[in-house]
Structure 1
Amino acid sequence: MNDSAEIEGGLRERKRAATRATITGVARRLTAERGLNGYTVEEVCELADISRRTFFNYFPTKEDAILGHVDDEIPQDVIAGFIAGGASSPSGEISPTLFQDLIGLSLKLSENMAASEEETRQLIGVIKKEPQLMLRIIGATEEREAQFARDVARREGVSPDHPVVQMAVALLGTIARKSSMAYFSDGNTRAYSELLMENISAASQLFSQNFENPAPLEGHL
């Protein structure tokens, strides 16, 4: 692919991502204000300045529009840079910079927090208005975490079910959720990146301690 084709493809994808984000933002705002059944797809299209056909090209239902698209959670260029960071390590071995690069990735993603803060607050409003959507949101989160596991595994040249990969995804996901809860709590004045690094540092301190495997209980193998 030549440079002009790559540039054109990149511009096209950014335009698609912008359209998806607009649709999601409108759907979340209307749901938070009126509830899921309080508006129509046509109203979303009018406010997003798109056709009904365009809406369904991006999302099959209003619920899917509210959840957003998995590709918009982590920009592909950011993931590509993260994966490239493991290139110098032999495939199949956990690279010595994985944890540090995961921290760097988390900080890069936190830079988008200010830009997406209103959307996140809208999603919180959606959950309060339509709590039954929580199961769909949990399912979408699990899908995103599964994709992240595949990305980490690809970087390291191991299987997505490798225990280090699974722990990395679980740990970073937990830290991100804890940081987000603190960031969006009433009265918070601290930056998301500050809360994120505080929690990462706490986890690092805990896991850097020496430990011994406890002796098995009698009667247990």
Structure 2
Amino acid sequence: MEKRELIVFSVKNLILEKGYSNISVEDITKNLGIAKGSFYTYFKSKHCVIDYILLEQLTKIEEKIKYFFEENMKLEDCIKKLVSARIILEDDDMIKRNLVIVSLFRNLDSLDKETLGLLREIEEKNIEVISQVIKKYRVDINDKELRIYSKMLNDMINSYKNFNLFISEKTRAFITTTNELREKYKEKNFQINIEILIESILKILTESVNLK
């Protein structure tokens, strides 16, 4: 792993361990056993590392967009893929990145303008994916309706992630490790909750938006 990636890896772990507001460049360099000069060779500030992580997330979303638009896919299958992609995180790095983003949303007052802009861009990209799904199955929907329903469905998925999936059943605190999330995936109610979420989205799309 190159030094830039080691710094990013360290920052993700430190944010999950201590919280974004409680870490400094000194904490990062001590954790890695490197000089501050080495850190500044790659990043101008702690904020720049965060922006790098958020740009990673945007890239991953872009890569997955085409995944939802296979020809002749039924609406139900498309929604299942969409929800699964947002909630069932495939690897430790993806889990950490999502947990870091949750932590950032809890520390908005500490973020600079560029970081806030990237967080908004991630949300807009997620909404855009949902908009494209809706338009695939109903081409005549007007822009106002499309925006309302896309944002509503994005909020539903975010609410489940942030206030159910990413919350420890034992402590009722936000989870901070990949193992905690993997254990949640094994819980009996996890699949039931996913099915309920998918059914709720499908009901809105078929009954309110008239998708087929």
Q: Give the TM-score range, shorter chain.
A: 0.5 to 0.7
Q: Which of the pair has more CA radius of gyration?
A: 1
In structure 2, the residue matched to 1:202 is 200
Whichever structure has more helix as a proportion of its residues is 2
Deviations 1:114-163 (Å, cap 9, x if unpaired)?
634455555556666x56237867643321132345556678588xx934
TM-superposed CA distance for 1:104, in Å, is 0.8
Partner residue in 1 for 2:156: 175
Deviations 1:166-204 (A, max 9, x none): 245313321221211111223177535543332231233
Quote the Cα distance in structure 1 between the aligned partners of 2:151 and 2:63.
Answer: 23
Map 1:136-155; keep pairs closer than 5 Å.
Answer: 139-150=117-128
Distance 1:80 1:123, change over 3 A: closer
Larger displacement relative to structure 2 (180-189 or 96-105): 96-105
Q: Give the secondary-structure state (helix, strand or coil) at the position aligned to 1:185.
A: coil
In structure 2, the residue matched to 1:35 is 22
- What amino acid maps onto 2:54 in structure 1? H
Per-residue Cα deviation, 1:62-113 (whole angstroms, up to 9, x for no partner)? 1343362234253544223224x26x7xxxxxxx845642431221343316
Checking the alignment, whether the CA contact within 8 Å between 1:183 and 1:190 is kept in structure 2 is yes
Deviation of the 1:22 alpha carbon = 1.8
- Indicate how the Cα distance of structure 1 residues 135 and 201 shifts in structure 2: closer, same or farther if over 3 A, else same: farther
* Higher RCO (Cα < 8 Å, 6 or more apart): 2
For 1:80, the equivalent position in structure 2 comes to 66
Identity %: 9
Task: Classify 1:54/1:193 alpha carbon distance in 2 versus 1 (closer, same or farther; 3 Å).
Answer: farther
The 3-state SS of whatever aligns with 1:39 is helix
The answer to whether residue 119 in structure 2 is matched with residue 133 in structure 1 is no
CA 1:204–1:147: 2 relative to 1, 3 Å: closer
Q: Which residue is equivalent to 2:80?
A: 103
In structure 2, do the counterparts of structure 1 residues 52 and 25 end up closer, same or farther at CA, with 3 Å as the change threshold?
A: same
Work out whether 1:65 is the aligned partner of 2:49.
Answer: yes
Structure 2 stretches lacking a partner, 5+ long:
171-182
Report the CA distance shift for 1:169/1:133 in structure 2 as closer, same or farther (over 3 A): farther
Determine the C-alpha separation between the residues in 2 that align with 1:34 and 1:72: 21
TM-score when normalising by structure 1: 0.53
Q: Is the 8 A contact 2:11 2:49 kept in 1?
A: yes
